[in-house]
Structure 1
Amino acid sequence: MLTPRHEALLATLLGMTVGVAAFGIYVGVRDEPLTGARPQIVATTPVQKPSPDPAAGALDGTALTFVSKTFGPGGQALVPSDWPQDERANDETRFEHPSSVWMIRFVNSPSRRDTDRQVSDRAKKVRNQTDLRIVSEDDTTLVYTYTRNAGKEPRMVLSRWIPAIDGEGTLAEITVAGRPEDAAGMAIVLAKATESYQPVNGSASGQPG
């Protein structure tokens, strides 16, 4: 924790940085013997430091701002406000962080298969993923990890199916993906989407699928 002294020093340094950036130049005075000559002024372009990578740390779900979005054929839910929306084919909508590290995907495709069947079918479908590990599997949600890009990039996926209102089949699939270290943050994103999900345009019951 910063002491008041350290906070004051940090504020001073920030003020100096802002001042330099506002002028666009750095003015330096060379040490010269006191001979009466004017000091020589040297103007240089300030070095631009790269912005920190927003995805360098684990996803902090508690720091996200959520907004309600309507998407695809028949869905509405809360999603992170700064994750752009991408409508895709096959009733799929993605909201992906600009870094491409995290995303939430909705597939609004009503089906007569119940949530239990959806989970077991997906577990079979991903069994050939590199370094696959099933983290958890229950009657609505499948969580697993794998690696992509020749085994160099660990990934974690949380997929949940929303049961139909009439109890027959499912309404939609909601999937959140990121890295294993993002597990807690992704769980918050998934919970927000699940709790707020609403069918729209009359999509209230499972259909053949």
Structure 2
Amino acid sequence: MLTPRHQALLMTLAGMTVGVAVFGGVLAINGDLLGSDSQAGNVSSSKPAPSTPSCTDCLQADSLQYTLQTFGTKSDPVSAEVPNGWKSTQAGTRPRFVDPSGVWQLRFDTRGSSKSPDELVDSRARSIDEQDLKVISRANGTLIYTYVDETRGPRMGLSRWITQNGSQKTAVEITVGGRPKDEAALRAILEQATQTLQLPTADNDTRPS
């Protein structure tokens, strides 16, 4: 038979056992909750950022390679670099080069003009008769504009008039055409043609002024 002292001791031990079990259960539950939160946080932070869709059918400036083409006349030859693979559909003093798909083109007018580039920019801007014409820029002898073609849809044109040897008269016009979304490549083609342009020397230039 247990004495009152032994009974009290057993009750104390039983209470301690229950307390330890409850404490352990609380730790286990908290551990599961923490683990779930931690895993959820890891999954959330590992999601990839959404990618920006690229233009898959745009003309890419860095993919272009160029070749030197000569045109004009025998007495007054003019040359410039045009994109590889673009075929000449018109020769002489107003040559035009078109890519195989017919979407992009580059043309020259080597006849010259007594007017200055700025005068020709203003004149061209007034004379373009196209649907939804928007002039984007007309600075430094270069006219940039967009319009809508009934057959081909949105189009962009970049026309530049160039002088020679400090003259105020225009020596040649360069125009690049394509779509508004091809603007970067169109600008690159215009710059390449401008930088590589070779004109007759003033002494040998027999073009009308």
**TM-score bucket of the superposed structures, by smaller chain:** 0.5 to 0.7
Give 1:148 shift: 1.0
Kept in 1, the 8 Å contact 2:134–2:147? The answer is yes
Q: Summarize the Cα distance change of 1:88–1:206 in structure 2 as closer, same or farther, 3 Å threshold.
A: closer
Identity of aligned residues (%): 34
Partner residue, 2:82 = 79
Kept in 1, the 8 Å contact 2:147–2:155? The answer is yes
Q: Which amino acid aligns with 1:101?
A: V
What CA distance in whole angstroms lies between the structure 1 residues aligned with 2:171 and 2:155? Answer: 26
Give 1:143 shift: 0.3
SS in 1 for 2:79: strand
SS in 2 for 1:92: coil
Kindly indicate whether residue 196 of structure 2 is the aligned counterpart of residue 193 of structure 1: no
Kindly indicate whether residue 110 of structure 2 is the aligned counterpart of residue 104 of structure 1: no
Partner residue, 1:33 = none
Partner residue, 2:174 = 174
What CA distance in whole angstroms lies between the structure 1 residues aligned with 2:132 and 2:58? Answer: 21
SS in 1 for 2:119: helix
Partner residue, 2:130 = 129
What CA distance in whole angstroms lies between the structure 2 residues aligned with 1:92 and 1:83? Answer: 15
Partner residue, 1:30 = none
Partner residue, 1:142 = 143
Kept in 2, the 8 Å contact 1:171–1:204? The answer is no
Displaced runs of 4+ in structure 1, greater than 2 A? 86-89, 200-208
Give 1:110 shift: 1.3
- Asked which structure has the greater CA Rg, the reply is 2
TM-score by length of 2: 0.66
Once the two structures are superposed, residues 28-52 of structure 1 have per-residue CA deviations (whole angstroms, 9 ceiling, x without a partner) of xxxxxxxxxxxxxxxxxxxxxxxxx
Partner residue, 2:64 = 64
Partner residue, 2:160 = 160
Tell me the C-alpha RMSD between the 2 structures.
Answer: 2.2
Q: Which amino acid aligns with 1:87?
A: Q
SS in 2 for 1:123: helix
Kept in 1, the 8 Å contact 2:58–2:181? The answer is yes
Q: Summarize the Cα distance change of 1:168–1:137 in structure 2 as closer, same or farther, 3 Å threshold.
A: closer
User: Tell me, which stretches of 5 or more residues in structure 2 are unaligned?
Assistant: 1-54
Give 1:201 shift: 7.5
What CA distance in whole angstroms lies between the structure 1 residues aligned with 2:157 and 2:178? Answer: 7
Count of aligned positions: 151
Give the helix-richer structure, 1 or 2. 2
Kept in 2, the 8 Å contact 1:159–1:173? The answer is yes
TM-score by length of 1: 0.66
